[in-house]
């Protein structure tokens, strides 16, 4: 039997951080006049935390291997982006929009593949994951292109991107991370939580 501790920690952390990302996104939409420095600090901390959770998830072994299959490189990228943003949070808005746009679009594309793999496995949630992945990818592209240059509009777009990314990751964590509770060495018996 193998330990389920790492996958359990990754799943719970993914759910908590996804929920916090949703709250941060809603906060950015509701409070468009927050200081750039505060936005930079909050985003930097969230990126580092998500990077660490993605790395933990990558090295855990979930049943379908869908949720964390691309998280080694994405986790490293998010942690590095978080550190860069925390080094200079006052200048973070344009850098944050570009980098978070890239990360959101990349994660949306990776989750697109995860949704198609989930369909192959027969998971009913594949269409929801696919829809959210496309939405996150589009918002990520908009953040990168920054069609609206006002700080308030960028803050709202950033909030929408964070909220969508949080909902996408929450759905992936809830619907595609399966924890094997009992498994024999030959694999003949397993119980899924």
The residues, any chain, with a CB within 8 Å of residue 83's CB and separated by 6 or more, are: 44, 48
The confidence score (pLDDT) of residue 48 equals: 94
| Residue among 172, 116, 162 nearest 139 (CA) | 162
The residues, any chain, with a CB within 8 Å of residue 176's CB and separated by 6 or more, are: 62, 64, 66, 67, 114, 118, 123, 125, 129
Instruction: Give pLDDT tens digits along the chain (193 positions).
Output: 456 787 888 889 889 999 998 998 998 889 877 777 888 888 889 889 989 988 888 887 666 666 677 778 888 988 998 998 899 887 777 777 787 788 889 889 988 988 998 899 888 889 999 999 999 999 888 888 875 566 677 788 888 988 998 998 898 888 877 766 654 444 544 554 5
Coil, strand or helix: which one is 127?
helix
The confidence score (pLDDT) of residue 10 equals: 83
Distance in angstroms (rounded) separating the CA atoms of residues 18 and 166: 4
The confidence score (pLDDT) of residue 181 equals: 61
């Amino acid at each position: 039997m193998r330990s389920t501790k790492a996958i359990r920690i990754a799943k719970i952390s993914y759910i908590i951080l996804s929920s916090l990302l949703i709250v941060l996104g809603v906060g950015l939409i509701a409070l468009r006049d927050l200081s750039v420095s505060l936005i930079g600090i909050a985003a930097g901390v969230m990126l580092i935390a998500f990077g660490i959770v993605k790395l933990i998830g990558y090295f855990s072994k979930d049943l379908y291997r869908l949720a964390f299959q691309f998280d080694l490189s994405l986790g490293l990228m998010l942690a590095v982006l978080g550190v860069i943003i925390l080094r200079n949070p006052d200048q973070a808005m344009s850098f944050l929009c570009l980098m978070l746009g890239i990360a959101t679009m990349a994660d949306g594309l990776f989750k697109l593949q995860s949704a198609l793999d989930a369909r192959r496995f027969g998971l009913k949630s594949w269409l929801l994951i696919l829809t959210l992945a496309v939405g996150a990818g589009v918002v990520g592209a908009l953040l990168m292109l920054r069609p609206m240059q006002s700080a308030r509009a960028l803050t709202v777009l950033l909030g929408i991107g964070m909220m969508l990314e949080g909902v996408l990751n929450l759905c992936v964590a809830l619907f595609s991370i399966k924890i094997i509770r009992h498994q024999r060495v030959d694999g003949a018996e397993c119980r899924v939580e």
